[in-house]
Chain A
Amino acid sequence: MSNALKIIEALGRHEDEASIDVLKDVGTNSEKEEIREATAQALIRKNSGKSLRILVADKGKGINDLSTRVALSTVNHLLELEDKATLMEVLGETIESTNCEEEIRNTARSLRALITLSE
């Protein structure tokens, strides 16, 4: 495991909320797939509104902008969340938001349906 991956994992487990900003600013901007994947997992581990909104609703940083493999891996991790209450809230907000692009809202809609079906 490279040092960068170790730092991203540590950020995912860090108590300081500012760690989400680092993941958003640095991790999601990386060109490397493994870094993007690790960043997405770290954000899921946080399981907060702020971190999940980055994955679901942020253009250029969320599921919509990940490669197919990383996007599927991220969706799997989201499905594995024990407490999905925050995720469902974020998905609902995104679907109803007029500020989000249609593509992002469609992804959110699909994800919500998948979670509902898998419950």
Chain B
Amino acid sequence: MRISSINFNVFKTRSIANVEQQNQNPFAVQNNNTIAGGLKQDVFQNSSIQNAQPNAFAQKTAEIFAGFNEKYNNFKNQSKEFFAPVISFAGKINAGIQKLNSITVEDMVASLKKEMSLLTLDRDVRKYVKMPVSDLREELVKELA
């Protein structure tokens, strides 16, 4: 609530009404039924502003900011958790790019040639080429037994 609106309401509803009832000078000083008196009594004496502790604003502000900080920290932690896979993936992409940068054209051509030559092979041969030699030894011994 804004202070200006409190003042306005008091001025209209309380002070003016009293002035009219008692037929007094609405601008008289030191009278509780005058505008100033009404303002003083209704606004400054009874309002929460008058009764509040001197550091109420500071406390309230601190509370608000404490809540804000808590929410911000939660958001920050959740964000970290949420973005962790993304960051990890980005790291992998970066590593991949660095690896790609270190590969020469000759390497790529050689690799492609090798892959292409494998494509013309029997499917089983391609499978065996990618198996560890120790496994191939076992398989061969088994086949020749």
Interface residues of A (CB under 8 A from B): 1-4, 6-11, 13-14, 16, 18-19, 22, 25-27, 30, 32, 35
**Are A35 and B144 in contact, with the CB atoms below 8 A?**
yes
Q: Is B139 an interface residue (CB 8 A)?
A: yes
State which residues 118-145 of B face A: CB under 8 Å.
118, 121-122, 124-129, 131-134, 136-137, 139-141, 143-144
Chain B min CB distance to A46 (Å) = 13
Q: Is the interface of B mostly helix, strand, loop or mixed?
A: helix
Contact B144 A14 (CB under 8 A): no
Residues of B within 8 A of A6 (CB): 122, 124-125, 128
List the A side residues contacting B134 at CB < 8 Å: 18
Report the separation of the CA atoms of residues A3 and B128 in the bound assembly, to the nearest whole angstrom: 10
Enumerate chain B interface residues (CB-CB to A < 8 A): 118, 121-122, 124-129, 131-134, 136-137, 139-141, 143-144
**In terms of DSSP, what is the predominant structure of the interface of chain A?**
helix
Give the residues in chain A near B121, CB-CB below 8 Å: 9, 13
* Smallest Cβ-Cβ distance to B143: which chain A residue: A4
Jot down 10 A-B pairs with beta carbons below 8 A, ordered by A: A6-B128, A9-B121, A9-B122, A10-B127, A10-B129, A11-B136, A13-B129, A18-B133, A22-B136, A26-B137
Question: Do B136 and A10 touch across chains, with their CB atoms under 8 A apart?
Answer: yes
Contact (Cβ within 8 A) B141 A10: no
Residues in B whose Cβ lies below 8 Å from that of A14: 129, 133, 136
Q: B140 touching A22 by the CB < 8 A rule? A: yes
**Residues on the B chain within 8 Å of A26, using CB:** 137, 140-141, 144
Contacts of B122 in A (CB 8 A): 1, 6, 9
- Give Cα A11 to B124, complex, Å: 12
Partner of A27, one of B131, B132, B140: B140
